Structure 1
Amino acid sequence: MSAPQLVVHRDKELMAQAAAARLITAVADAQAARGTASVVLTGGRNGNGLLAALGSAPARDAIDWSRLDLWWGDERFLPEGHPDRNVTQARAALLDLVPLDPARVHAMPAADGAYGSDADAAAAAYAEELAAAAGAEGGVPSFDVLMLGVGPDTHVASLFPESAGVRETGLTVVGVHNAPKPPPTRISLTLPAIRAAREVWLLAAGEDKAKAAALALSPDADETQVPAAGAHGRTRTLWLMDEPAASALPHELHPPA
């Protein structure tokens, strides 16, 4: 478990641009070291803002897009192409602009796909895909960077406070039912899968995230009640924030922007 590091930027636009630059460096370094790289994307306004900033970044071609595997931390279980699906929004923000290998874009199943309306079966299939990519080790790949947006209620991916998913210790992917925000049915990585990543980046921008960030970074936070507190990487846990999101942090945790 890595202790969290905080980087606070003036506003959400600067945060997105800086995070995009940081991601370019991380992916290029991973590809130089291992030939390929794997990144887990997040949706929401902060995740999509980062992807849009990456799409317009002059240095984006430092990444060999053909040697990049993309996964998702969670997905809204809706029909293929639905505008609220994370993959649909990611394609509009970035993926359709860069020369990715389609076979290395690992979208979570849609509600009108092979598993119909069975989110649990769809989750099991995604777990099998992750295990196949992990190879002999099983479980999930050692993601180079796994990104998570932090919700105002402290949820990450689709792991909500006090939910069954946040308590899961065996499965790597779960179907989520009766989520407290629409749509109610989702698919999500679990905390054990998240913790397999080399680096976990938590994105928090906006005043509505201030209380959640303060709770998650409290030393006595309970991950079942504050899921963001349970998200950490094997070598690095990085909180990328703007000033409004960091406004409720104690002074000793609030680094200068």
Structure 2
Amino acid sequence: MRQPELLIQADAEDLAYAVASRFITRVVDAQSTGGVAHVVLTGGRVAAVVYRAVAESPARVEIDWRRVEFWWGDERFLPDGDPDRNETQARDALLSHVDVDPARVHPMPADTGQGAEAAAATYAAELAGVPKFDVLMLGVGPDGHVASLFPGYPQLEVTDVDAVAVHDSPKPPPTRVSLTFPRLARAREVWFVVSGEDKADAVAQALGGGDIPAARPKGEDRTLWLIDQAAASKLA
């Protein structure tokens, strides 16, 4: 497996537009043989800017949006439409502005009273038959978590299912649903999109081989760390 590649932009805005451009190119490439592109979206402050940049880019017309399958790496287990859900963020910034096929948008289940374990099982079943993601985007927390896989939590060691419930999250809301490491690993390209000085220690640890969750996901073909100068400030 190739070593991760590091690409540094001046600031969060430059980073967002660089990621947006790369995203459009990658999806077009994935569709070039006539197939469907499978992409995994993330949440967070940079992700929202990336999605808006994609929606505003003239190059977005190069994508056949009806042939994109959208997935999520994790989700806050909240009612449908809650502004804190990653799905809501992505719909507001991108999906409502392009001609997606609603049947190809796969949000993690919202909280309807069924419990996060049932929601995780439902999502794992929906993922059955999806061989690989073409591109999977991840943010990184200051503590080094990715998706909703937090340092020291038992979900880090789950290998027999594709999605798990997470309770007592160290950041709100306390209940979440997350893909597991084996499912995150089934991606041709994994992109870490990270901005801000508060993430610099985690970036340095992950790229230095530290024992944190962010050090673990790797793309089968390519692993990219797309970060800004502030997030890169602790790198040697």
Return the TM-score normalized by structure 1: 0.90
Are residues 1:14 and 2:11 paired?
Answer: no
Other-structure match for 1:159: 149
Once the two structures are TM-superposed, the CA of residue 33 in structure 1 deviates from its matched residue by 2.5
Q: Equivalences for 1:160-199 in 2 at 5 Å?
A: 160-199=150-189
CA–CA separation in structure 1 for the residues paired with 2:139 and 2:25: 20
Once the two structures are TM-superposed, the CA of residue 47 in structure 1 deviates from its matched residue by 1.4
CA–CA separation in structure 2 for the residues paired with 1:170 and 1:49: 34
Native 8 Å contact 1:42 1:73 kept in 2: yes
CA–CA separation in structure 2 for the residues paired with 1:34 and 1:2: 27
Aligned length: 236
Other-structure match for 1:30: 30
Q: Equivalences for 1:55-94 in 2 at 5 Å?
A: 55-94=55-94
Are residues 1:97 and 2:100 paired?
Answer: no
Once the two structures are TM-superposed, the CA of residue 36 in structure 1 deviates from its matched residue by 1.2
Query: 1:181-214 CA deviation, whole Å, 9 max, x = no partner?
Result: 0000000001110010000000110111100100
Are residues 1:211 and 2:208 paired?
Answer: no
Return the letter of the residue paired with 1:142: K
Are residues 1:122 and 2:108 paired?
Answer: no
Once the two structures are TM-superposed, the CA of residue 38 in structure 1 deviates from its matched residue by 0.6
Other-structure match for 1:146: 136
Query: 1:138-196 CA deviation, whole Å, 9 max, x = no partner?
Result: xxx31000000011111110000011111111111000011100000000001110010
- The 3-state SS of whatever aligns with 2:20 is helix
Q: Taking structure 1 as reference, are residues 117 and 184 closer, same or farther at Cα in structure 2, changes over 3 Å only?
A: farther
Once the two structures are TM-superposed, the CA of residue 2 in structure 1 deviates from its matched residue by 3.1
Other-structure match for 2:48: 48
Native 8 Å contact 1:7 1:241 kept in 2: yes
Once the two structures are TM-superposed, the CA of residue 34 in structure 1 deviates from its matched residue by 4.5
Query: 1:35-56 CA deviation, whole Å, 9 max, x = no partner?
Result: 2101000001121121111111
Return the TM-score normalized by structure 2: 0.98
- The 3-state SS of whatever aligns with 2:33 is helix
CA–CA separation in structure 2 for the residues paired with 1:159 and 1:87: 18
Q: Equivalences for 1:231-246 in 2 at 5 Å?
A: 231-246=217-232
CA–CA separation in structure 1 for the residues paired with 2:180 and 2:124: 10
CA–CA separation in structure 2 for the residues paired with 1:53 and 1:236: 23
Return the letter of the residue paired with 1:128: A
Q: Which one of the candidate residues 222, 227, 235 is aligned to 2:213?
A: 227
Return the letter of the residue paired with 2:93: A
Native 8 Å contact 1:47 1:148 kept in 2: no
- The 3-state SS of whatever aligns with 2:38 is strand
Q: Which one of the candidate residues 220, 243, 249 is aligned to 2:235?
A: 249
Other-structure match for 2:190: 200
Q: Find runs of 4+ consecutive structure 1 residues off by over 3 angstroms.
A: none
Other-structure match for 1:255: none
Show structure 1 runs of 5+ residues with no match.
135-140, 251-257
